[in-house]
Amino acid sequence: MDSFLLRDLLLLKKEKKIYSFSLILILLLPLTLLLSTSLANISVVVLCLFFVFLTIQEKNIFFFKDPFFIFLLIFFFYILVNLFFSTDFEVSLSRSIGFIRFVLFPFAIAFFLKKNDFKYIKLILQSWTVIFLLISVDLIFEIIFGHSMFGMSNTFPGRLSSILGDELKIGHYYYGFCFISLSLIILTFKKNFLSIIGMLTFITISLMIGERANFIKLFLGAILFIFFWYNFKQKFKILLLLTIVITSLSLINLNKDLNSRFKGQFITYLTNNGLTGYYYNSQYGAHYGAAIKIFKNYPIMGTGLRTFYNECNKDIYSDEKFLSNDSKCTTHPHQLHLEILSQLGIIGYLIFLTFISYFLIRGFFNYQKYKNLLHLSALIFIFTTIFLPLPSGSFFTTYGAIIFWTNVGLVLAFEKKKISFI
């Protein structure tokens, strides 16, 4: 840790307790996500409460003037109305009311990051990056030895999980913080060679994790990142893209487990059976088929948050055309758009698309003006999460939601800030 970070830590102690505690919660957020989802959820709730208290105390309720906040608030009120149309009120209740924390959370992130003109931004981002790099080292260790440095492993061949053990969700975490960490490395060291090595390393680790959808999102996100990387020459961009593609294909061909997951279970199967055959023979297809039927039965309001499992178990959603019909029911449809359509209906879906589209368009124009790589990184994560038609975790569960809304908070914090503060 350099002298500037030590200085920031000492300065942090001198802040008001409510500020210093809030900043520490943000500083440790990526770690709490790995240690305990419940702990991360408590951190988010406390941050939101402190944020509301401080903005009222300081008479600085700036977020009320932000159109994006108004959109989010409308979406939340719709979720509350939707609760009374839920097929299971009790099941939907906690998740519906609890969504208010994600209306406030991104604005809380932006509020505390911008504290005293980004006074502690370097401390926070470097802490996040250190945590991300430690997880990267642990994943490399797991690749070599078959278990993490802490002795944890999982029982699924060709999959990495780091300290999460049998919870196979480290890929989403890695994808959620990858571009943030890469941007900080670029801005800190200002050496293109080191930045390229970092990008290739992170993409390789993401591939080795074995989560196809998250790797594809990160891979396509990397292409967007390179395309908008403003100070990188065109010929080097092309060379870097070719290197990424060749490295990824080589690893898939040389590694037996990756070959099975990416070629045998996906590319070859898709080529031989076509998209329709893949849809009806995969478990994801069975989830999607049930979600589509639920949406057709409840097109306007959906069935309510968290109701997918109970609803899809009804006989009317059984469809023998799907090979995995007997295992079609799970906690969510594993596709973000189908999750929102089936649970919130077309009205909720249109509200959702409206505020997300507005946010991304606004963010893109801000990036064009201020050229902030950290802002770009968060925008890319949000765009690839929403608009790539790939399997996904639930949009409303704590783990995935915290990662998503943290990135939204970064966009809000950096949208009118140049990169000179690093």
Residue 38 CB coordination number (10 Å)? 10
In contact, 76 and 379? CB cutoff 8 Å: no
Q: For residue 379, give every residue at least 6 positions away whose Cβ sits within 8 Å of its Cβ, in sequence order, or none.
A: 360, 363, 364, 367, 411
- The answer to whether the CB of 293 falls within 8 A of the CB of 313 is no
pLDDT tens figures, 237-247: 888 899 999 99
1: pLDDT strictly greater than 60: no
* pLDDT bracket for residue 169 (50, 70, 90): very high
Residue type present at position 275: L
Report yes or no: 286 and 324 within 8 Å, Cβ to Cβ. Answer: yes
Contacts of residue 316, defined as CB under 8 A and 6 or more positions apart, other chains included, come to: 293, 297
Residues 335-351 pLDDT 10s: 999 999 999 999 999 99
**Residues 145-173, mean pLDDT to the nearest whole number:** 91
User: Quick one: which H or E segment has residue 310?
Assistant: helix 308-312
What are the φ and ψ backbone dihedral angles of 96, each rounded to 5 degrees?
-65, -50
Supply φ then ψ for residue 119, to 5 degrees.
-60, -35
- Give per-residue pLDDT as tens, 9-45: 666 666 788 999 999 999 999 999 999 999 999 999 9
User: Mean pLDDT over residues 115-136, rounded?
Assistant: 92
Whole-prediction pTM value? Answer: 0.95
| 353 compared with 263, residue with greater pLDDT | 353
Q: What is the mean pLDDT of the chain?
A: 92
Tell me how far apart the alpha carbons of residues 212 and 165 are, in angstroms, rounded to a whole number: 18
SS3 188: helix
Mean pLDDT of 156-185: 93
How many C-beta atoms lie closer than 10 Å to residue 26's C-beta?
Answer: 22
CA separation for the pair 160, 206 (Å, rounded):
9
Instruction: Supply the pLDDT for residue 337.
Output: 97
85, 133, 152, 97: which is closest to 307 by C-alpha?
85
Residue 5 has pLDDT above 70, yes or no: no
204 SS3 class: helix
One-letter amino acid at 287 equals H
